[in-house]
Amino acid sequence: MTRPPNLLFIMADQLRADYLGCNGHPSIKTPHIDALARRGVNFTRAYCQAPVCGPSRMSFYTGRYAASHGASYNGVPLRVDERTLGDYLRPLGYRVGLVGKTHMKRDDDGMARLGLDPDSSRGVLVSQCGFEPYERDDGLHPDQLANPDLPYNRYLREQGYEGANPWHSVANSAEGNDGEPLSGWYMRHSHLPARVQEAHSETAYTTNRAMDFIEEAGDSPWCLHLSYIKPHWPYMAPAPYHAMYGPEDILPAVRSDAERERPHPVVEAFMGHGESVEFSRDEVRERVVPAYMGLITQLDHHIGRLADFIEAKGLRDDTVIVITSDHGDYLGDHWLGEKELFHEPSARIPMIVVDPRRGADASRGSCDDRLVEAIDLVPTFTDLAGGDSRTLDHILEGRSLTPLIRGESVADWRRYAFSEADYAWRPARMELGLAPDEARAFMVTDGRWKYVHYANYPPQLFDLARDPGEIVDLAHCDDCRTVRGELEAALNEWFRARRLRTTISNAEVERRTGTAHKRGILFGAW
Amino acid sequence: MTRPPNLLFIMADQLRADYLGCNGHPSIKTPHIDALARRGVNFTRAYCQAPVCGPSRMSFYTGRYAASHGASYNGVPLRVDERTLGDYLRPLGYRVGLVGKTHMKRDDDGMARLGLDPDSSRGVLVSQCGFEPYERDDGLHPDQLANPDLPYNRYLREQGYEGANPWHSVANSAEGNDGEPLSGWYMRHSHLPARVQEAHSETAYTTNRAMDFIEEAGDSPWCLHLSYIKPHWPYMAPAPYHAMYGPEDILPAVRSDAERERPHPVVEAFMGHGESVEFSRDEVRERVVPAYMGLITQLDHHIGRLADFIEAKGLRDDTVIVITSDHGDYLGDHWLGEKELFHEPSARIPMIVVDPRRGADASRGSCDDRLVEAIDLVPTFTDLAGGDSRTLDHILEGRSLTPLIRGESVADWRRYAFSEADYAWRPARMELGLAPDEARAFMVTDGRWKYVHYANYPPQLFDLARDPGEIVDLAHCDDCRTVRGELEAALNEWFRARRLRTTISNAEVERRTGTAHKRGILFGAW
């Protein structure tokens, strides 16, 4: 038997699928990611399960939809008994490490109830979403919250940078004419270079730490979740990346006046958020998007550096590489900033899978436009590691991508992809006067049509073929009644088919079916 | 502040709602339960959340629908981090004990993963569904499975009964002409008296043990889940109850030939089960149902004995008593035996709540036909114990009955009740050729109409007002399209509103809404 491959699971944060060269961006430079796409499969129609960091990541790590794992928003603890990737890979002999961000919130109440010490070895794994926290860094360290012992801050100090929180004052701030820091929290500074040298930036440092992990892991199989904070805000790139792009390089905002004139009530409430108001201004887009692009090109550079490192270590042929993102960024499209809703800039994600082994030659260099979901990675990794994800189909809600990667014909690939939102936590909910558990929305797409069900509000429907910009809401179009009904039915079916009986496998159910009599329980016997 | 009341939570097993005198049965004698109903509120339209022991009980104990707690059938472990009644009552100063059955299956994998020792004090509570197992006895002990140290078997031996498993050979067997045991597992023996003396029968013994608990609990507040196995099969009553009723006393079978001529596919598969075939024979009904009725009257006698005991202890005015059941019993109605599907004999349950305190005088002796669900008891008990179930509305899916008990007007009581089935485990699934996770069905009723959604099969619709026997399936009736659509929509809405974000309260969401900026996270700022 051949050795199972290492799994390098790279996630960017807030990286739009269309801001990559291999996905058609006309001006961005991502040569290393593009090269990886040529070495693997580029899934061009991949969706995150929730367009916001925490719940999206919990779906990536559990292989389950957000409503199933329950961590529906940032800061919602993941139930202590939700299984994660590490639960599946460690028994297969893998070291499962983390460098970077997970957005995992520990379930303190659940742990206390069960007497699980968060500092015990089990407790650490459960607290860290199943990853060995080789270096966890969730990447947002405003002065109010910053841990004085943050390893990255220690590192910056070792490089000679000063201050209580150089993450902010150096890596995420620019410098004014008089040497004063200009905070990267303010987008008006996004055209300026960060005060940090590129080689000491977060992206560079995170990459270094990934190399440390790989070096240390040696010959036994590993899975490394390398989870970059960028190009997530603060939108502040170090030189030379801050100046690599200009307003002429950015994609035009996808929006129309009609969207503001007759907005959907929930979208309208989001349009009222500060980030949406700002990103609706051209001045903001022209200053911020070039920085966002610079951060992506910088990320690309370090992914290339890491690929070279892997090659130099002789691991290239033993290492499967996945490149994805937790969600996108509106960047002013649809008069919106940030993410959370379901337009393509927000809900669609990059998903590139490079399997260097011969079995994947059939798909090498191809684009695959079948519907893929973030939750597919747990079964995919499990299968790649030598497990059998089918035995977990009472828990996992994603589908293994391995047959697609091997170029096998798959007759019954999924017809629909889903994504969810719990916007209870945003001012939009207050604006709409909703209770916390009323602020829910659900997206379903069949690739051609996208349907959004909002609790308490009418749905939305877009025709992605004729209207790829998702400008014209067809929910009330009489001609679309059939497709609307079909997608609503698919959504309802999806709810009913949720995997919630997680404590017993389907194979075990098969074994037990109709066996009560064999155990002497003779009900109904005359 | 007055002392919170004791909570005596009595459950019968497989007791149909309509086999009680207070619920209109023309011949059964249940004078003590009827007397309790006169002292409290009789909820005449109460539904279990799953018409089978395990999942129904897990809903009773968690206050959550079956698909939410996940223990969808007998033998499916309840996830280790599902909260149960004890989690809510113990912090309020209650001792929370169990005498009898829970059908709880421990989540061994979940406990092992978290390092929770099943024998630790925490482990025992989690293993026992949150109850202190004062005496747990799930009540089914065929020779193949019987624990030699079963306390009830020890007790029987102390009373002079012999054998390795007197639960079977004495308490649940009759005697032939030559002194040979005739197993109660065979319904052809149901007209004979059990070999056990009534005073040593399971129902008597269980009642004794409840008294022991109450005696021992003393003055601090307690909740006792007194959970009888009877009138669940084996249908075998001790003298004189075995002969108290005859064929002339049983309710006629509610069924029609039309049901067999054009059956719903899933119902048809259930009609093929052995218990359905047997119960469709008059001979079986005429022998079994009188025994079933005898067991109920015996149960009633012991509930009366317990009520007297409570009065003698001076606890009557301090003790809230609830009498309910986990589900009903088809007893041949609709050509079916057992339970599992959603006709009234199976899904409707008795629900009598006796609150002796002055605040409940307004409802005393009344019948209340508002829709009540099994999951309502956890919030009700929590509120009665001095807690506030509203703070748990991110977990609990039931509604507190306390305003109804107090006779307060409630403007927005629930419009629909729900019940679920996972029949993966039954031969019906094999007959239908379904995979384990395709064998699901869901019921919704608004009190007037009952709608059943089956995965993979057409729905059913009954008009409970015009057709209380649920004989005529109106699912395909054109006139009923509107109501069918309304109930289907209610079911879909119910799925979407499931409480799955259990790790953070709605009040905490309110506190956090829109606060990121206050923590220094200034996204979208110019």
Chain B residues close to A68, C-beta within 8 Å:
500
pLDDT over 80 at A242, yes or no: yes
Mean local confidence (pLDDT), A193-211: 98
Cα(B134)–Cα(B100) distance, rounded to whole angstroms? Answer: 9
Cross-chain Cβ contact B425/A520 below 8 Å: no
**Is it the case that residue A279 has pLDDT exceeding 90?**
yes
DSSP notation for A52-103: SHHHHHHHHHHSS-HHHH---STTPPPPTT---HHHHHGGGT-EEEEEE---
On whether ipTM exceeds 0.90, the answer is yes
* Chain B contact present for A427, CB below 8 A: yes
- Point out the residue among B77, B436, B442 whose CB comes nearest to the CB of A510: B436
Q: Are A215 and A314 in contact (CB under 8 A)?
A: no
Amino acid at residue number A382:
T
pLDDT score of A1 more than 60: no
Q: Report the pLDDT averaged over residues B51-63.
A: 98
Task: Tell me what pLDDT residue A76 has.
Answer: 97
pTM over 0.95: yes
Q: In this structure, are strands A372-373 and A46-47 parallel, antiparallel, or unpaired? A: parallel
**B284: Cβ–Cβ under 8 A, 6 or more apart, which residues?**
A526, B187, B278, B332
Q: What domains can be seen in chain B, in order of their start residue? A: 6-408+417-512 (3.40.720.10)
pLDDT of residue B147: 85
Q: Which of A513, A517, A519 to mutate to test the interface with B (most CBs of B within 10 A)?
A: A513
**Chain B residues inside the 8 Å CB shell of A498:** 67
Contact indicator for A328, A17 with CB cutoff of 8 Å = yes
Q: Which chain B residue has its CA at the smallest distance from A425's CA?
A: B513
Q: Confirm or reject contact between B525 and chain A (CB < 8 A).
A: yes
Q: Check residue B525 and give its pLDDT.
A: 94
Residues of chain B contacting A126 with CB distance shorter than 8 Å? 114
Q: By the CB < 8 Å criterion, does B19 face chain A?
A: no
Buried b (16+ CB within 10 A) or exposed e, B155-186: bbeeeebebebbbbbbbbbbbeeeeebbbbbb
Give the residue from chain B lying closest to A332, CA to CA: B524
pLDDT tens per residue, range A317-346: 999 999 999 999 999 999 999 999 999 999
Mean pLDDT of A466-476: 97
Q: Which alpha helices (H) appear in A218-329, and where do they start and end? A: 257-261, 265-271, 274-279, 282-312
Longest dimension (CA), chain A: 96
Answer yes or no: do A427 and B233 touch at CB < 8 A.
Answer: no
pLDDT in tens, B347-368: 999 999 999 999 999 999 999 9
Res A215 pLDDT > 60: yes
User: Closest to A337 (Cβ–Cβ): which among B276, B499, B524?
Assistant: B524
In this predicted structure, what is the pLDDT of residue A50?
A: 98
Distance from CA of B235 to the nearest CA of A (A): 10
Residues 231-270 of A with CB under 8 A from B: 233
Chain B residues with CB under 8 Å of A121 CB are none
Amino acid of residue B157: R
Q: For B1-50, how does the pLDDT look when each residue is reduced to its tens digit (9 = 90+)?
A: 578 999 999 999 999 999 999 999 999 999 999 999 999 999 999 999 99
State the average pLDDT over residues A75-84.
97
Residue A2 has pLDDT above 80, yes or no: no
User: In whole angstroms, what is the distance from residue B97 CA to residue A157 CA?
Assistant: 59
pLDDT over threshold 80, residue A39: yes
- Given a cut of 80, whether residue B393 has pLDDT beyond it is yes
The whole-angstrom separation of Cα B156 and Cα B168 is 11
Of A113, A276, A509, the CB nearest to B424: A509
**Chain A closest-CA separation from residue B439 CA (Å):** 10
Residue of B nearest to A276 (CA): B524
Residue A85: pLDDT band (50, 70, 90) is very high
**B70:A110 CB<8 A:** no
Residue B1: the pLDDT is 52
Q: How close A42 gets to chain B, by Cα (Å)? A: 31
Between CA B474 and CA B513 the distance in angstroms is 46
Q: Are A267 and A341 in contact (CB under 8 A)?
A: yes
Query: Is B112 part of the contact surface with chain A (CB cutoff 8 Å)?
Result: no
pLDDT (mean) for B422-429: 96
Instruction: Please report residues of A whose CB lies closer than 8 A to that of B394.
Output: 437
According to the model, what pLDDT value does residue A517 have?
A: 87
pLDDT over 90 at B253, yes or no: yes
pLDDT band for position A74 (50/70/90)?
very high
- Tracing tokens 């007790």 back to the chain, one arrives at B155
**Which of B79, B87, B142 shows the shortest C-beta gap to A81?**
B79
Q: Does B500 touch chain A (CB under 8 A)?
A: yes
Q: What average pLDDT does the structure give for chain A? A: 97
